[in-house]
Amino acid sequence: MPWKIVIIACWATVLAMGALLRLDSLSSRPFHCDEATGARITARRMESGNSQFDPQHFHGPLLSSLAMPLCRARGETTWPALTKGSLRLVPAIAGCLLVLLPLGWRRRWGDAPMLLAAALLATSPLLVYYSRMFIHESLFGLLGALTLMTFLTKPKWGLPGVGLGLMFATRETFVISVFAWLGAAGLVALGRREWLNRPALAAAWRTWRLHLLLSLLSAALTAGVFYSDGLHHPAGVLDAVRTFFVYKTGAGHDKQFFYYLNFLTVPHKAGGAWWYGTPVAMLALLAFAASFRRSAMDERLRLTSRFLGYAALGHFLIYGLIAYKTPWLMVLPWAHVCVLAGFSLAPMATLRPRWQAVLLVSIGLTLVSQFRQTRYATGRLASDARNPFAYVPTRRDIEGIEPWLQQLAAKAPQHTVEPIAVIGSGYWPLPWYLRSFKLVGYWQEAPVNIAELPIVLCVPESTAALVTQLATTHKLLLRGLRDNVALTLFIRNDIWDAWMQPDVP
């Protein structure tokens, strides 16, 4: 009984730590431009009552489908009413559930390996950081891990297909995971030649063909329900297929093949902190190597560890070959690595006491270093370009633009600063911070009456022309928008003069 209490306490501690790291001060970081885009899509769906999937620019509808009931439950049903906390709860909960998944494998593989896997998932700076963003990756990582777990433990009657369909409803990149998993299964099978003779293959086909058909059918039906907006928009199913042929990636994200390897495993110092995932990768390599030693693990665990290693490598290779790269695409592959690293404890009993002590100390240092990096990443460096996970971060001073404009409106001659004009492209997440204003227009080039407008905001490519055009009518101020991207504000002279007048007691 005391030992069971210890095990329960360990699991409770790990799960509580994972939840704390994901939920603490969830609204403090400024909204990222991708978060603001997702919030706008969610608001439009709530306000219009229907969904139109765009196969060229956006990912699947599942994230907003899950966010809408949560926002409604908190009384946030319109674009101005939405809050960062409500929207970010969806990926945060997904991140907490990802930490919980190894608990489902404890009876099969033991408490120690699964506790370590859960602890690595709970404290991973990459997984925690993107669990605190209203983007698709945390949800995608949860569904990918759940699909993989279902495939490895309960593959019958189409259950893996439901998870696969939900992955498709989240992101079109689910096909990369499918290819990585198929490649991993093929490599594992090559190591077991007795599986590849004709009688064995024929028997496997007879056993699994119905389950394979049911999985494919359940995947198509699950994804189709979401892409068709509950069958209200059947053309959405066709658009979901079209996205593989017409999807357009944004410019400026092309990187070299080894970007992810450097990003995750090569230590570097920035912002007063060291960033590295090297210890986790080393533990995963140790577990992978042990899977080739018959004396280290039982047969099922050896094959599972080998499959996870091949699958993680397959993800890295495929994503490395794609020029478009962003760090959050590594959420699911890195979850593979964390679970595989947990299996490094499986051959513990076969090691000499000296090496057991070295392994345990290494694991302790790994968890401490991950926790420290996570606190830096979600704390003082949460929206700082020196944080490797804060990709194209929003500047903190943009948080004050909406209340400041409201104060400006209170002193303006007409008690309003509307209509507000935003000139240029690449202005996100600015619409999120202007959502309380009703009259906001967005133009690629300045309209003819630009000099009459109370407030004009523009991004760098449009600033030079407006400086000359508004030199005599507006006051120029600067604010930060994103890392290395300034936002220029032009305030009409009469409003600026009123603002500069001292308050009358």
DSSP 265-333: HS-EEETTEEE--HHHHHHHHHHHHHTT-TTTS-HHHHHHHHHHHHHHHHHHHHHHHSSB--GGGGHHH
Report the 10 Å Cβ neighbour count for 326: 17
φ, ψ of residue 138 to 5 degrees: the values are -65, -45
pTM tops 0.75: yes
In a domain, 386, yes or no: no
Q: Looking at the structure, do residues 493 and 415 belong to the same domain, yes or no? A: yes
391 half-sphere exposure, CB direction, 13 A CA radius:
17
Distance CA 55, CA 447 (A): 31
Domain that holds residue 419: 396-500
Note the pLDDT tens digit of each residue in 118-169: 999 999 999 999 999 999 999 999 999 999 999 888 877 788 999 999 999 9
Residue type, 76: E
Nearest in space to 420 (alpha carbons), one of 457, 474, 382, 467: 457
pLDDT of residue 156: 79
**How is residue 253 written in tokens?**
């994200």
Q: How far is CA 396 from CA 27, 164, 380, 481, in A?
A: 12, 38, 11, 8
Domain count, the chain: 2
Q: Looking at the structure, do residues 221 and 361 belong to the same domain, yes or no? A: yes
- 240 or 169, which is more confident? 169
Q: Looking at the structure, do residues 364 and 431 belong to the same domain, yes or no? A: no
Of 236-250, 315-329, 363-377, 467-481, give the lowest mean pLDDT range. Answer: 236-250
In a domain, 387, yes or no: no
In a domain, 384, yes or no: no
In a domain, 385, yes or no: no
Distance CA 161, CA 165 (A): 6
Q: Looking at the structure, do residues 250 and 190 belong to the same domain, yes or no? A: yes
Nearest in space to 164 (alpha carbons), one of 232, 241, 223: 223
What is the mean predicted confidence (pLDDT) over 491-505? 85
pLDDT of residue 251: 72
401 and 435 Cβ atoms separated by less than 8 Å = no
C-alpha dihedral (226, 230, 236, 240), degrees to nearest 10: 20
Q: Looking at the structure, do residues 342 and 232 belong to the same domain, yes or no? A: yes
The band of 246, judged by pLDDT with boundaries at 50, 70 and 90, is confident
In a domain, 38, yes or no: yes
Q: Looking at the structure, do residues 260 and 128 belong to the same domain, yes or no? A: yes
Asked if the model's pLDDT at residue 193 lies above 80, the reply is no
Q: Looking at the structure, do residues 274 and 410 belong to the same domain, yes or no? A: no
The residue from 351, 378, 405 where one domain ends is 378
Distance CA 383, CA 274 (A): 17
264 and 333 Cβ atoms separated by less than 8 Å = no
In a domain, 167, yes or no: yes
**How is residue 201 written in tokens?**
């293959």
Distance CA 221, CA 165 (A): 7
Nearest in space to 347 (alpha carbons), one of 339, 355, 336: 355
Of 21-25, 83-87, 157-161, 478-482, give the lowest mean pLDDT range. Answer: 157-161
343 and 283 Cβ atoms separated by less than 8 Å = no
Q: Looking at the structure, do residues 111 and 169 belong to the same domain, yes or no? A: yes
In a domain, 453, yes or no: yes
Q: Looking at the structure, do residues 197 and 260 belong to the same domain, yes or no? A: yes
Asked if the model's pLDDT at residue 42 lies above 70, the reply is yes
Would you report the helix, strand and coil content of the chain in percent, each value rounded to 5? Answer: 65, 10, 30
Q: Is 121 exposed, middle or buried (0-12, 13-18, 19+ CB in 10 A)?
A: buried
Asked if the model's pLDDT at residue 207 lies above 70, the reply is yes
Nearest in space to 368 (alpha carbons), one of 128, 126, 98, 119: 119
Q: Looking at the structure, do residues 14 and 110 belong to the same domain, yes or no? A: yes
Asked if the model's pLDDT at residue 190 lies above 90, the reply is no
Q: Which residue has the tokens 């929207």?
A: 87
Q: Looking at the structure, do residues 459 and 355 belong to the same domain, yes or no? A: no
Asked if the model's pLDDT at residue 235 lies above 80, the reply is yes
pLDDT of residue 443: 93
pLDDT of residue 237: 85
In a domain, 404, yes or no: yes
What is the mean predicted confidence (pLDDT) over 63-73? 95
Q: How far is CA 487 from CA 33, 163, 468, in A?
A: 14, 42, 16
pLDDT of residue 296: 67
Q: Looking at the structure, do residues 296 and 357 belong to the same domain, yes or no? A: yes
Note the pLDDT tens digit of each residue in 258-293: 999 999 999 999 999 999 999 999 999 999 999 988
86 and 30 Cβ atoms separated by less than 8 Å = no
**How is residue 389 written in tokens?**
């996970």
427 and 466 Cβ atoms separated by less than 8 Å = no
Asked if the model's pLDDT at residue 297 lies above 80, the reply is no
Q: What is the CA radius of gyration of the chain?
A: 26
